[in-house]
Amino acid sequence: MPTTSEKSVPPCPLPLAGLRVVEFTHMVMGPTCGMVLADMGAEVIKVEPVGGDRTRRLLGAGAGFFAMFNRNKKSIGIDLHHPDGVEIARKLCASADVVAENFKPGTMTRYGLDYASLGPQHPRLIYVSHKGFLPGPYDHRTALDEVVQMMGGLAYMTGRPGDPLRAGTSVNDIMGGMFGAIGVLGALIQRGISGKGMEVQSALFENNVFLVGQHMMQYAITGKPAAPMPDRVSAWAVYDIFTVKDGEQIFLAAVSDAQWLTFCEVLGFADLKADTRYATNNERVTLRPELMPILRERLALRSAAELTQIFESAGLPFAPIRKPEELYDDEHLQATGGLADITLPDGVRAGQTAQTTLLPFTMDGQRLTVRSSPPTLGEHTTQLLGELGYDAAHIKKLHGDSVVA
């Protein structure tokens, strides 16, 4: 009998296999939508300018954008300012189940590539737009993740009072793309019922408002405005970052009365356990100004490693404070296949291998993985043009005239 390790692993489910997506996207929001669909098996064709998506060349905080959000895709470079380029783009759209875009309002309309132009000709087409704002008084504004975090309450909630601070990652861009993909999946189900496509719209601002909706609801229920997270009244007494031995930091929590008792037992705090003033969570929250200094003083004598062992053994919530680069060495990610190799397409490390993070769910017990690395500019142009009916001579001329790359 074969051992478990010798048994063949079934192929990863690809529920969107056979679906063609043409995306006119850049930066993070639109590419995230395409990546989700691509990871689930769709053929996603990224249309880039002949000079390449400028996201390929970003520095600093943007250096990882292209490699992160464009795996499992094909690339074709098209000059949409040239009539022949627009014709190619329209033919591609005619072959697609889904068209995705995230350019400024009016951009796709100029080329006849908006839903109003394509939908009547292709009634089964699903068209997903990613914008700063859904149609309304703000839809003419230029939006960025930072813009909507500031105007949508997230920066206020993240920073200290009087010091609004954007979240440390592109939360609205990434989630906005995910909501675009969710909308596409719903539209695909509806198309299977009615035979008709539809337009889906996702927006940064509305995504941000959804993220802070819990704080809006808190105000609606209590009549009290939500305070910024660093200044909030916590729902739990022990739920904080502690500076411990040698200046290390660790997050520790006890969010129920049972956990409080365990917390006191495993740390040897018999006096706190016996103190009836701390018997319930709400009483501990009320007395937090006097309780927390006691805990901080005592825990400062313990090392982070010791506390990790104690809390893990006791089943109490805890977390080391890590930097993103330290996650490459995370034993859980390594053991569960949460990271996958890609070949970098651009920059000083082009052609070298790096690890990327996968979608955070399984299907049939498996992670959706990388089938192809982020494409080089125009890597699939010749192949795709051939599929659209262009012969070799015509393709050569299009390249020579810089209509395609």
- Please list the active-site residues: 173
Cβ-based neighbour number of residue 314 at 10 Å: 15
Gyration radius of the chain over CA positions: 26
Structure tokens at 20: 């063609």
Taking the alpha carbons at both ends of the chain, their separation in whole angstroms is 54
| Cα separation, 14 vs 99, whole angstroms | 19
Q: Closest Cα partner for 99 from 200, 202, 245, 246?
A: 200
Sheet of 20-24, strand order: 73-77, 43-48, 20-24, 98-101, 126-131, 199-203
In the sheet that holds 249-254, the strands lie side by side as: 238-243, 249-254, 318-320
Query: Which of 54-63's residues contact partners 24+ apart within 8 Å by CB, and which partners?
Result: 54/26, 55/26, 55/27, 55/31, 56/345, 56/346, 56/347, 56/377, 57/346, 57/347, 63/347
The answer for residues whose C-beta is within 8 angstroms of residue 70's C-beta and 6 or more apart is: 31, 34, 35, 46, 374, 375
CA–CA gap between residue 227 and residue 157 (Å, rounded): 7
CB-based contacts of 303, cutoff 8 Å, min separation 6: 244, 245, 246, 248
**Dihedral (Cα; 107, 67, 18, 87), 10-degree rounding:** 30
Per DSSP, the three-state class of 236 is: coil
The length of the chain is 405
Q: Hey, how many other C-beta atoms are within 10 angstroms of the C-beta on 236?
A: 18
CA atoms within 13 A on the CB side of 295: 25
Angle between helices 204-211 and 171-194 (to 10 degrees): 100
